[in-house]
Amino acid sequence: MLPNSQQYRNPKLKSALCIVVDTRGSTPRKAGAKMRVFENGEIEGTIGGGSLEKKVIEDALAQIKIGSPRLFEHQLLQQHNMCCGGMVKIYIEPEAQKCHLIIFGAGHVGQELAQQALRADFDVSVYDDRGEYIQQITDNKINAQCLDFTDAVKQIPFDENVYIAILTYRHDIDRSLLRYCLPKPKAYLGFIGSQRKILVTRKMMMQEGVATEEDLDKVDMPIGLNIGAETPFELAVSIVAKLIEVKHAGNVKTINQIKDIEQCIKEQP
């Protein structure tokens, strides 16, 4: 097991896992030793240190750029002038990036959503301009920052792995964030609010020329699946369920597909 980092790390950083898979003779670590290398050169864990580890880091950075795994063999004496003199085989595999959920608003729903999203294996960042709410988020796996929302949204690493939930305490802040996020690349954009708030927001965005009706149809508003949620926990569950649905959209079978499969099974002799 690699040690857990106690410091939040930017989920946009690519990484590769380096695993000692075979050894012969005297070696600093045995099979099963692991090290994670990040694209900025930082590491977690160790496969033995010294010139071997330096070369493995270089190899890992190269494989991150290439995007493919590779098995490397190291003769410690001949290649690295290491007197232990054994042989090490190290498998290096670039890791798939986690989905990154950005939550604007650290109120009751935002805090509950952050916890539930962690359990669903999202990297989570929460932003709010109220320090007393940010201080209530004590899980060091969550990147919780007290920032003005205008400043916060400008540091978001928008890409196809980014999921955004707009849950602040004021309609005008929500709408300002929506305006900024609409044209940015992202996997998901959700906007909390009543049906009236949604209708007024859509009308405002179209009148201002910020977005077309088609653009706004891509925004999940009201946010989350319609399961009749009321409490912060229920709302968080409905939102996480929607995030999971979006995340696995390419693997989800439609109702008609499921019925076709069931029919085929019934028709089997």
CB atoms within 10 A of CB 124: 27
Residues 67 and 114 in one domain: no
Same domain for 150 and 236, yes or no, is: yes
Number of domains in the chain: 2
pLDDT at residue 251 in the model:
54
C-beta of residue 33 within 8 angstroms of C-beta of residue 9 = no
Same domain, 87 and 137: no
Asked if residue 186 and residue 213 are part of one domain, the reply reads yes
Same structural domain for residues 189 and 140? Answer: yes
Q: What is the pTM of this model?
A: 0.69
Give the whole-angstrom CA distance, residue 51 versus residue 3. Answer: 22
The answer to whether position 263 is within a domain reads no
* The pLDDT of residue 70 is above 50: yes
Summarize pLDDT for 224-243 with one digit per residue, the tens.
999 999 999 999 999 999 99
- Tell me: do 48 and 174 sit in the same domain: no
Q: Is residue 115 included in any domain, yes or no?
A: yes
Closest alpha carbon to 7 in 122, 155, 141: 141
Claim to verify: residue 147 and residue 234 sit in the same structural domain: yes
Is residue 111 domain-resident? yes
In a domain, 82, yes or no: yes
Whether residue 269 is contained in a domain is answered as no
Parent domain of 179: 100-251
More confident site: 267 or 47: 47
Residues 186, 82: one domain? no
- 131 with 57, same domain: the answer is no
Asked whether residue 266 carries a pLDDT value surpassing 70, the answer given is: no
Look over the chain and give the mean of its residue pLDDT values, rounded to a whole number: 88
Q: Are residues 155 and 228 in the same domain?
A: yes
Section 116-141 average pLDDT: 96
Whether 135 and 232 share a structural domain:
yes
Judgement on whether residues 123 and 144 belong to the same structural domain of the protein: yes
Is 107:113 a contact under the CB 8 Å cutoff?
no
Q: What confidence score (pLDDT) does residue 263 get?
A: 57
